[in-house]
């Protein structure tokens, strides 16, 4: 609560300084220039099977319904069955099947080659994006292979070049399949992946437990949903890990990994059911705050910025509690 209030006063102060430092005639000119060159969007990432393509399809439909012009950019050369109409498709530049055949590579090696090729031909992507910059909101659908972001930094450099050259304001939306919460070991792995991605990409970042409507499809959760979304004391997971002989063998390693996650204290999750408009709407609010979209059409004044600062807070506790009530079984009801 204190940290949030501090952030709000900072926003108020910055907007007041802008007002004071700009002459009246320059202020209008600055406002128009900023509006013209502000381009917002999302970088959609996550492990294979986490629902990135389905997310892009559902998110684009939702954003169009609320009045935004949306362009989806497919940068996954392995995704040849797209449910959405993409404005830019990497397959126009390079195809994974051709790379695998020509260079005798497997799927992962082929994806690394494709992303490296895209980085070297970044001018092609820029030329495709420039016609969209005036009035479109951008959704980038990236491949899910982890090595593209860590062992190789091609994907990161592609994003950096686009942000720098086209002045994009992007938020990384990292999808994690919610059913991983039912397995303590997989949940800790997901936390490590999320933390590593946040530190590596250096973008405003939102971690999402996707497919929340299927959260208990692989077993009942050991704790309430807020334990997993808020990433609370991970030592409570140790008892459940010890019940698996394979996990008990690496007890000390697991404990140290949990300490790393808690020491950084950066990871938390929001939830998403892509078929629920309220769930998608809550996520859009978070994304718009993180990349500054909510400020794009405002007057650069302390009064306008303060409207956001004093807006009612949608407390995470009540939102998560509502999600749990909707999608998770109640032990009391099961006993009756």
**CATH number of the domain bearing residue 181:** 3.40.50.300
Measure the CA–CA gap between 26 and 210, rounded to whole angstroms: 45
- Read off the pLDDT of residues 273-318 as tens digits, 9 standing for 90 and up: 999 999 999 999 999 999 988 877 655 554 455 555 445 546 576 7
Kindly indicate the confidence band of residue 8, based on its pLDDT and cuts at 50, 70 and 90. very low
The structure's pTM equals 0.84
Q: Which range marks the domain in which residue 12 is found?
A: 1-37+298-328
- Read off the pLDDT of residues 33-68 as tens digits, 9 standing for 90 and up: 555 568 999 999 999 989 999 999 999 999 999 999
Contacts of 256 (CB under 8 A, 6+ apart): none
Measure the CA–CA gap between 45 and 145, rounded to whole angstroms: 9
**CA within 13 Å, CB half, 194:** 28
In a domain? residue 64: yes
Residue 100, token pair as written in the block: 């695998």
In a domain? residue 242: yes
> Above pLDDT 90, what percent of the chain?
58
pLDDT for the residue 248: 73
Q: Report the sign of the C-alpha dihedral through residues 13, 18, 23, 25, in that order.
A: negative
Residue matched to tokens 């910059």: 133
- Residue 10 sits in the same domain as residue 126: no
Domain count, the chain: 2
Higher pLDDT, residue 79 or 336:
79
Average pLDDT of the residues of the chain: 84
In a domain? residue 333: no
In a domain? residue 3: yes
- Residue 18 sits in the same domain as residue 101: no
- Residue 45 sits in the same domain as residue 72: yes
């Amino acid at each position: 609560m204190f940290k949030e209030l501090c952030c709000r006063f900072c926003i108020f102060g910055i907007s007041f300084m802008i007002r004071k430092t700009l002459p009246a005639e320059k202020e209008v000119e600055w406002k128009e220039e900023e509006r013209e060159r502000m381009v917002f969007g999302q970088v959609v990432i996550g492990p294979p099977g986490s629902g990135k393509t389905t997310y892009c399809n559902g998110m684009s439909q939702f954003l169009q319904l609320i009045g935004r012009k949306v362009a989806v950019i497919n940068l996954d050369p392995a995704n040849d069955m797209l449910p959405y109409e993409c404005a830019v498709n990497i397959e126009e530049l390079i195809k994974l099947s051709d790379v695998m055949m020509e260079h005798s590579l497997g799927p992962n090696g082929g994806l690394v080659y494709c992303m490296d090729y895209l980085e070297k031909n970044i001018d092609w992507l820029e030329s495709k994006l420039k016609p969209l910059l005036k009035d479109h909101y951008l959704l980038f659908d990236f491949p899910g292979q982890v090595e593209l972001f860590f062992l190789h930094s091609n994907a990161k450099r592609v994003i950096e070049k686009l942000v720098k050259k086209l002045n994009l304001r992007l938020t990384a939306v990292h999808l994690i399949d919610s059913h991983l919460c039912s397995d303590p070991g997989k949940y800790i792995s997901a936390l490590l992946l999320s933390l590593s991605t946040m530190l590596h990409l250096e973008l405003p970042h939102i971690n999402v437990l996707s497919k929340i409507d299927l959260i208990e499809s692989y077993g009942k959760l050991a704790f309430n949903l807020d334990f997993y979304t808020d990433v609370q004391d991970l030592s409570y997971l140790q008892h459940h890990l010890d019940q698996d002989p394979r996990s008990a063998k690496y007890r000390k390693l697991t404990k140290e990994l949990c300490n790393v996650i808690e020491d950084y204290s950066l990871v938390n999750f929001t939830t998403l059911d892509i078929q629920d408009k309220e769930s998608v709407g809550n996520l859009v609010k978070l994304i718009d705050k993180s990349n500054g979209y909510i400020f794009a059409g405002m007057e650069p004044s302390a009064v306008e910025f303060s409207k956001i600062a004093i807006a009612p807070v949608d407390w995470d506790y009540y939102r998560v509690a509502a999600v749990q009530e909707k999608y998770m079984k109640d032990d009391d009801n099961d006993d009756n």
